């Protein structure tokens, strides 16, 4: 498992590179995805992770759909089998007009929380691990995760545009 890098590491501020076609269906890409999954699994309060957060400078993020269900206790979430979505070379192709302030944190800015303005709904076009293109839309926390993780791929952290930042001790 790779450590999640923290704010101040230059990899978090760079533009991630597109995953080239010849990297699909290779052991190298499989290893990157496994490292991402292991790091996210270990971060019990994390719902998504971008590759740069574990020092992989590629345009990849993963989400744990099973951790996005409302009202579940930490124990209930831990008992679930990981339901992971893989998004490679993602781009947001559609958003709602409506935006709302939402509470937000980040595994790479550990212990800091704030409020960000996010689109209520977002649709992403991306590739899966085999290189096939797909689109996936979502609202609520999934739309927020899409926007947050794509920000990471563009070198942007939520603290760059969040309000009411507060530090909480872990």
Going from the N-terminus, what domains does the chain have, and what CATH number goes with each?
10-167 (3.90.45.10)
Confirm whether 91 is a catalytic residue: no
Q: Read off the pLDDT of residues 68-117 as tens digits, 9 standing for 90 and up.
A: 987 655 666 566 678 999 999 999 999 999 999 999 999 999 999 999 99
Given 76, 149, 163, 169, the catalytic residue: 149
pLDDT at residue 46, rounded to an integer: 93
Report the range of poorest mean pLDDT among 49-58, 70-79, 148-157.
70-79
CA–CA gap between residue 51 and residue 59 (Å, rounded):
7
CA–CA gap between residue 52 and residue 137 (Å, rounded):
23
pLDDT at residue 79, rounded to an integer: 64
- The secondary structure element, H or E, covering residue 29 is helix 27-42
pLDDT at residue 169, rounded to an integer: 72
Phi–psi pair at 32, nearest 5 degrees: -60, -45
pLDDT at residue 168, rounded to an integer: 85
Q: Read off the pLDDT of residues 116-143 as tens digits, 9 standing for 90 and up.
A: 999 999 999 999 999 999 999 999 999 9
Q: Read off the pLDDT of residues 22-44 as tens digits, 9 standing for 90 and up.
A: 999 999 999 999 999 999 999 98
Closest by CA to 124, choosing from 95, 92, 168, 153, is: 92
- Given a cut of 90, is residue 1 above it in pLDDT? no
Q: What is the band of 54 on the pLDDT scale with cuts at 50, 70, 90?
A: very high
Q: Strand 121-127 vs strand 99-105: parallel, antiparallel, or unpaired? A: unpaired
Q: What is the pTM of this model?
A: 0.93
Task: Determine whether 110 is exposed, middle or buried from the number of CB atoms within 10 Å of its CB (0-12, 13-18, 19+).
Answer: middle
């Amino acid at each position: 498992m790779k450590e999640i890098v923290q704010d101040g590491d230059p990899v978090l501020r760079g533009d991630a590179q597109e995953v080239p076609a010849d990297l699909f269906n290779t052991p190298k890409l499989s290893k990157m995805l496994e490292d991402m999954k292991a790091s996210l699994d270990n971060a019990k309060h994390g719902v998504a992770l971008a590759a740069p957060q574990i020092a992989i400078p590629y345009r990849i993020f993963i989400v744990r759909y099973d951790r996005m269900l409302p009202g579940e206790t930490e124990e209930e979430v831990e008992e679930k089998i990981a339901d992971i979505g893989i998004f490679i070379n993602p781009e947001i192709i559609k958003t709602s007009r409506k935006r709302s302030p939402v509470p937000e944190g980040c595994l790479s800015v550990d212990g800091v929380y704030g409020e960000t303005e996010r689109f209520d709904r977002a649709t992403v076009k991306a590739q899966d691990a085999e290189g096939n293109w797909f689109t996936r839309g979502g609202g609520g926390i999934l739309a927020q995760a899409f926007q947050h993780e794509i920000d990471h791929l563009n070198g942007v952290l939520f603290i760059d545009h969040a309000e009411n930042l507060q530090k909480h001790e872990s």
